[in-house]
């Protein structure tokens, strides 16, 4: 067996993060390279400037290559943005000849039937995820292979995105001279890094709060039920601070990261922030409680929107494992308590776990998606190959990789 290198690229609104993982002979993932770069050319998770995005991706790739000593040619890439939509679909097929054992081909046929939904020409299917199976009316089946029956039904979760947004992202990564192994919806990747099996079985909502958008994924019975992307994130909090305190956006961001808090009651009335540390020619003082009040108002609005989406999913009050917050904005002090109060759910902050190698530098919610891309690859692709097997030459088409990804979901 030979060691394999896996690369994940989180193309976010505020930062590009590249992680390089090396799978050793024992199947353990070691993080050997990290490359981050401020993101340019994206708005709310969507590419709006090709050249700026390519430059940002290339810079992050260069840093990851220098640290890891590895040449990056292929990668798993996260996709998000307000253009993402999802729906659940069912498909069923007859087992012929009647009452024989169900085989892989039967599952594939059922999934293809479920996948045949009407979508506009300007949208494209990103994921088709089987949620569960029904054999002759018997529900709750996770793997029907080998069972006898006359009729097989599959329930799937189908995620689509705008064709232009998907292809622009693919184009940017390829212009940075990297071939895409698979596109992975970012909340699904994040869930790989921060959720436990017991949580997805009980029922849990993952809320990944990025700079440009907030991704929501609702899980129940060990499977995904609903995915939603809200066009609001940490950048809007920063904009509110900039407007409310009449500060440049960059200064408002530094203020948020250094002194931000979601609970004004936790801040003393006489706690003042000296703006001279951010603006040398400014001698103004800002009450830290005022900063917290601005942040609290926007974060409350965000969680009210999250609550509404959970209501729409039909799982309001049916999530015993509660809420897991991740993403860069989940690091704001006080956000856990505010979320639990508004949604009336047990809440925790989700950080990537089980890391090896350069783990200390990425064991934060801000790196959940990038870490999850590597763990997604481990879960859905076989990386340990025989030495006699020819290596991937990096020229495999995205379409064939997409087909391989789909097959990886089948039991």
Q: Give the pLDDT of residue 170.
A: 96
pLDDT at position 175 = 96
Q: Which residues of the chain, if any, have pLDDT below 50?
A: 1, 383-411
Residue 134: strand pairing partners: 153
State pLDDT tens for residues 66-123: 999 999 999 999 999 889 999 999 999 999 877 689 999 999 999 999 999 999 999 9
Residues in the chain, overall count: 411
Q: Provide the 10 A C-beta neighbour count for residue 336.
A: 16
pLDDT of residue 354: 72
pLDDT at position 408: 42
pLDDT in the model for residue 359:
67
**pLDDT for the residue 382:** 53
Please give the pLDDT value at position 27: 73
pLDDT of residue 7: 96
**CB half-sphere exposure, 323, CA atoms < 13 A:** 27
* 259/244 Cα distance (integer angstroms): 15
- Pick from 61, 26, 31, 55: nearest CA to 41: 55
The pLDDT score that the predictor gives to residue 395 is: 32
User: Which residues are CB-contacts of 16 (< 8 A; sequence separation ≥ 6)?
Assistant: 9, 10, 35, 36, 37, 38, 39, 56, 57, 59, 60
pLDDT in tens, 375-411: 999 887 754 433 333 333 333 344 444 444 444 444 4
Closest CA to 263 of 297, 214, 304, 233: 297
Q: Domain spanning 85-159 has what CATH number? A: 3.30.1490.110
Q: How far is CA 383 from CA 21, 150, 187, 376, in A?
A: 12, 36, 23, 12
The answer to whether 223 touches 131, Cβ cutoff 8 Å, is yes
pLDDT of residue 3: 59
What pLDDT is stored for residue 283 in this prediction? 86
């Amino acid at each position: 067996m030979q060691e394999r290198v896996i690369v994940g690229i989180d193309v976010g609104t505020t930062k590009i993060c590249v992680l390089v993982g090396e799978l050793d002979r024992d199947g353990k993932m070691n993080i050997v390279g990290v490359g981050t770069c401020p993101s340019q050319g994206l708005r709310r998770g969507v590419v709006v400037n090709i050249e700026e995005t390519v430059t940002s991706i290339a810079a992050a790739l260069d840093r990851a290559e220098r640290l890891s000593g590895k040449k990056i040619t292929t990668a798993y890439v996260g996709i998000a943005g307000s253009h993402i939509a999802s729906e659940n679909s069912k498909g069923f097929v007859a087992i012929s000849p009647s009452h024989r054992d169900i085989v892989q081909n039967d599952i594939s046929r059922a999934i293809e039937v479920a996948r045949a939904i009407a979508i506009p020409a300007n949208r494209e299917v990103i994921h088709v995820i089987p949620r569960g199976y029904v054999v002759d009316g018997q529900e709750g089946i996770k793997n029907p292979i080998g069972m006898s029956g006359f009729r097989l039904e599959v329930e799937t979760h189908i995620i689509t995105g705008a064709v232009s947004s998907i292809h622009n992202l693919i184009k940017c990564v390829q212009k940075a001279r990297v071939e895409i192994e698979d596109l992975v919806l970012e909340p699904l990747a994040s869930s790989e890094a921060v959720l436990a099996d017991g949580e997805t079985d009980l029922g849990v909502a993952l809320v990944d709060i990025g700079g440009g958008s907030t991704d929501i994924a609702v899980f129940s019975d060990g499977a995904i039920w609903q995915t939603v992307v809200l066009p609001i994130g940490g950048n809007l909090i920063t904009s509110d601070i900039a407007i409310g305190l009449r500060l440049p956006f960059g200064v408002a961001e530094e203020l948020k990261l250094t002194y931000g808090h979601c609970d004004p009651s936790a801040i003393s009335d006489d706690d003042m922030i000296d703006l001279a540390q951010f603006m040398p020619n400014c001698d103004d003082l800002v009450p830290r409680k005022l900063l917290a009040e601005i942040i609290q108002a926007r974060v409350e609005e965000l969680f009210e929107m999250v609550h509404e989406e959970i209501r729409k999913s039909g799982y309001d009050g049916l999530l015993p494992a509660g809420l897991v917050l991740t993403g860069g904005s989940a690091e704001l002090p006080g956000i856990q308590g505010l979320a639990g109060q508004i949604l009336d759910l047990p809440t925790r902050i989700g950080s990537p776990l089980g890391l090896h190698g350069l783990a200390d530098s990425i064991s934060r919610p801000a790196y959940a998606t990038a870490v999850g891309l590597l763990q997604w690859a481990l879960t859905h692709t076989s990386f340990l190959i025989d030495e006699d097997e020819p290596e991937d030459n990096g020229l495999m088409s995205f379409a064939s990789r997409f087909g391989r990804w789909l097959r990886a979901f089948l039991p």
